Chains A and B, each alone.
Chain A
Amino acid sequence: MSTILDVRNLQTRFYTREGVVKAVNGISYTVDQGEILAIVGESGCGKSVGVLSLLQLIQQPPGRIESGQAFFQGVDLLALTDREIREKRGKEIGMIFQDPLTSLNPVLTIRRQMTEGLIKHYRMGSTEAYTRAVELLKLVGISNAEKRMGEYTFQFSGGMRQRVMIAIALACNPQLLIADEPTTALDVTIQAQIMNLVKEVQKEFGMAVIWITHDLGVVANFAQNVQVMYAGYIVEKCSVPELFSSPAHPYTIGLLNSLPHMNTKEHRRLEAISGSPPNLMTLGEGCPFAPRCERVTERCRVENPILEPVREGHVVACWNVDGADGADGADGRTDHGQ
């Protein structure tokens, strides 16, 4: 499969009055055509800023993309001018945001918002765009689409708004869909509907999807590949089955151990990761996870590890994973379970 997105050494910082927030610290990854990649991490780990930077959606100032390139079908998105990037946004790269209420415009009808991209990017006439928009609303499962086109966002429920967002994102047949925690604000039953919907349209349109989430359950059910972020760094990257069967980074292992298992009767004590995520203004030289890590050594405190392969298609940023240790991660997990 060919690569559709190639991000190299992306670094984004925010210059605030209190100090410099190192939000994204040189991340590199690729996305293949038709791939579903999950980016998982806790709040403030840079997962959203990382993808918003790709589309130059970071407010500048205070934000600044310090370095990096992001080749989308061979074109460096970060080098484009405002006018050029606008051609990509919404047309070749669709985006769904976390909160459908604030990301839709409350004073415009659904029709206006649905057809805007079509009219702008494809120079469609208003009637033609309307017909296409109705089709899309039906596709995402909104009944009575013709009538609802004239309504406003407040007349839609949370799940329905997210469906509208998806319809807008799909309107111009994007090759890449970026979904930034699209189901976090929704209830589980609605989350299941939205996940299945995106899966269906992904199959139908064959686009690549970057799905940002903090929920490992969503990762397991939805994605093919996954990268774990911590404090603005990618700390582990591999296929989804591999992440759950043999996690290698101590942070990933800790996250998996801190989850309750819903399908077992046994009542085990949850293994919490001690401490809390670091302040991105005061990141030091060493590994950002070192203060919370059980495997920490002297080296970890002074030198930040780089991503290195532990196995085919599985990279980890940790000084204390040798080949055997990687497999131990999985065993470690079941050991804790007993």
Chain B
Amino acid sequence: MGSEAKKLLKISGLKKHFATGGGLLRKKKLVQAVNGLDFEIFEGETLGLVGESGCGKSTAGRTILQLYQATEGSVLYDDVDLTKLNKQELLPYRRKMQIIFQDPYSSLNPRLTVGSTISEPLLIHQPEMKKKERLEAGQALLEKVNLDPSFVNRFPHEFSGGQRQRIGIARALAVKPDFIVCDEPISALDVSVQAQVVTLLEDLQSEFQLTYLFIAHDLSMVRHISTRVAVMYLGKIVEIADRDELYEKPLHPYTKALLAAIPVPDPVYAKKHPVKQLEGEVPSPLNPPKGCFFSPRCPLAQKICFEQSPPLEEKGPGHPVACHMV
């Protein structure tokens, strides 16, 4: 995308905490799902957001879209802070930002025909549209995602997982968005179908100049689709870099460990680079460790790591890392 690319979104100090438990006599606990994110998303790029389950990547995506109200911090879309807008003011931005969900089974209403599902966003964002126009728009969208336009009258249960995911994509495209959060769009799909959906997303991106935030835990697919990649650990970003730089010269010890743990589908490579394991488990976001969140599992940890949380700092051009030891 180059350096001339325009910033579409600027996220600063974004936090999202959920209160949980609590009762008459018990104190509420805070799940610190997203714990201060700072990054930018450039127009036309695909930013991959990776991390293990529970690291807050989906929460981050939804908080950026204002589906969750941010606890702290700001989300600037074209220099407008979305967190400060009321419902009415937010509506035009809702049109610009859409989401594709992980589970193609639960994210489609089983009682709505595919046509109604796809054209429902138009009902809200373009209420002046006539019913017939909406139907035609729905058919055109189905064609865009390589499905038969005659499917508009069918119901979701008649479709396979991959087809449903295409319907979900068509729904997201209906209002001509600029930015789409893809929240693990392929992890529920069969391996042979994943590639279909990924190539479709790539084609649509170049056709409509879309910007993606691609959330996933499959690091090899993320390398394939992303322009840049951000790695999250326990609600914080630990490293952001251009795709090839991140995979070839990872700097943060967590990124290194994550990459070393992936079983590569190549027995020759596997022999030379056996899967390395990272000891321990991700701590609970209810009670994150002091200092650097990764310190209890980190092979490089020194005294300072257990006391101070490292800031996300540029350690190379366009390559911020949050680590004292880099």
Verify if A101 is at the interface (C-beta below 8 Å from B). Answer: no
Verify if B135 is at the interface (C-beta below 8 Å from A). Answer: no
Q: Which residues of B contact A43 (CB under 8 A)?
A: 190
Q: In the complex the two chains form, what is the Cα distance from A124 to B53 in whole Å?
A: 40
Given A43-B190, A254-B192: A189 and B257 within 8 A (CB)? yes
CB distance from A17 to the nearest CB of B (A): 15
Q: Which residues of B contact A273 (CB under 8 A)?
A: 192-193, 195-196
Q: Which residues of B contact A274 (CB under 8 A)?
A: 196
Verify if A159 is at the interface (C-beta below 8 Å from B). Answer: yes
Q: Which residues of A contact B276 (CB under 8 A)?
A: 192
Q: Which residues of B contact A218 (CB under 8 A)?
A: 263
Verify if B270 is at the interface (C-beta below 8 Å from A). Answer: yes
- Contacting A at CB under 8 A, from B48-63, are 52-53
Asked whether, in the complex, the Cβ of A258 is within 8 Å of the Cβ of B194, the reply is yes
The residue of chain A having its C-beta at the shortest distance from the C-beta of B54 within the complex is: A187
- Which segment of A51-59, A167-175, A259-267, A319-327 sits at the interface? A259-267
The residue of chain B having its C-beta at the shortest distance from the C-beta of A141 within the complex is: B279
Q: Contacting A187 at CB < 8 Å: which of B52, B247, B268? A: B52
Verify if A190 is at the interface (C-beta below 8 Å from B). Answer: yes
The residue among A190, A244, A260, A261 with the most chain B CB atoms within 10 A of its own CB is A260
Q: Which residues of A contact B52 (CB under 8 A)?
A: 187-189
Q: In the complex the two chains form, what is the Cα distance from A220 to B273 in whole Å?
A: 12
Asked whether, in the complex, the Cβ of B199 is within 8 Å of the Cβ of A272, the reply is yes
Verify if A131 is at the interface (C-beta below 8 Å from B). Answer: no
Instruction: Bits for A234-268, please: 1 = Cβ < 8 Å to B, else 0.
Output: 00000011001100000100111011111101010
Verify if B89 is at the interface (C-beta below 8 Å from A). Answer: no
Say which size band chain A's interface belongs to: 35 or more
Q: Which residues of A contact B278 (CB under 8 A)?
A: 189, 192-193
Q: Which residues of B contact A160 (CB under 8 A)?
A: 281
Asked whether, in the complex, the Cβ of B223 is within 8 Å of the Cβ of A260, the reply is yes
CB distance from B307 to the nearest CB of A (A): 25
Q: Which residues of B contact A219 (CB under 8 A)?
A: 265
Asked whether, in the complex, the Cβ of B223 is within 8 Å of the Cβ of A262, the reply is yes
Q: Contacting A220 at CB < 8 Å: which of B258, B260, B267? A: B267
Asked whether, in the complex, the Cβ of A189 is within 8 Å of the Cβ of B267, the reply is no
CB distance from A200 to the nearest CB of B (A): 11
Q: Which residues of B contact A190 (CB under 8 A)?
A: 281
- Which segment of A4-12, A78-86, A88-96, A209-217 sits at the interface? A209-217
Asked whether, in the complex, the Cβ of B191 is within 8 Å of the Cβ of A262, the reply is no
Verify if A71 is at the interface (C-beta below 8 Å from B). Answer: no
The residue of chain B having its C-beta at the shortest distance from the C-beta of A219 within the complex is: B265
Q: In the complex the two chains form, what is the Cα distance from A39 to B233 in whole Å?
A: 33
Q: In the complex the two chains form, what is the Cα distance from A276 to B265 in whole Å?
A: 22
Number of A-B residue pairs, CB cutoff 8 Å, is: 137
Asked whether, in the complex, the Cβ of A276 is within 8 Å of the Cβ of B190, the reply is yes
Asked whether, in the complex, the Cβ of B195 is within 8 Å of the Cβ of A220, the reply is no
Q: Contacting B266 at CB < 8 Å: which of A244, A265, A269? A: A244
CB distance from B271 to the nearest CB of A (A): 9
Q: Contacting A240 at CB < 8 Å: which of B53, B220, B267? A: B267
Verify if A152 is at the interface (C-beta below 8 Å from B). Answer: no
Asked whether, in the complex, the Cβ of B198 is within 8 Å of the Cβ of A270, the reply is yes
Verify if B91 is at the interface (C-beta below 8 Å from A). Answer: no
Q: In the complex the two chains form, what is the Cα distance from A275 to B277 in whole Å?
A: 36
Asked whether, in the complex, the Cβ of A221 is within 8 Å of the Cβ of B275, the reply is yes
The residue of chain A having its C-beta at the shortest distance from the C-beta of B248 within the complex is: A265
- Contacting B at CB under 8 A, from A254-307, are 254-256, 258-263, 265, 267, 269-274, 276-277
List 12 additional contacts besides A189-B261, A192-B275, A260-B198; criterion CB under 8 Å. A160-B281, A187-B53, A189-B278, A190-B281, A193-B277, A244-B267, A260-B224, A262-B220, A262-B247, A263-B269, A272-B192, A272-B195
The residues of A with any CB-CB pair to B shorter than 8 Å are 42-43, 157, 159-160, 187-193, 195-196, 214-222, 240-241, 244-245, 251, 254-256, 258-263, 265, 267, 269-274, 276-277
23 contacts between A and B (CB under 8 A): A159-B281, A187-B52, A188-B258, A192-B275, A195-B263, A195-B275, A196-B275, A217-B220, A219-B265, A221-B267, A255-B192, A258-B191, A258-B192, A259-B191, A260-B223, A260-B224, A261-B224, A262-B220, A262-B262, A270-B195, A273-B192, A274-B196, A276-B162
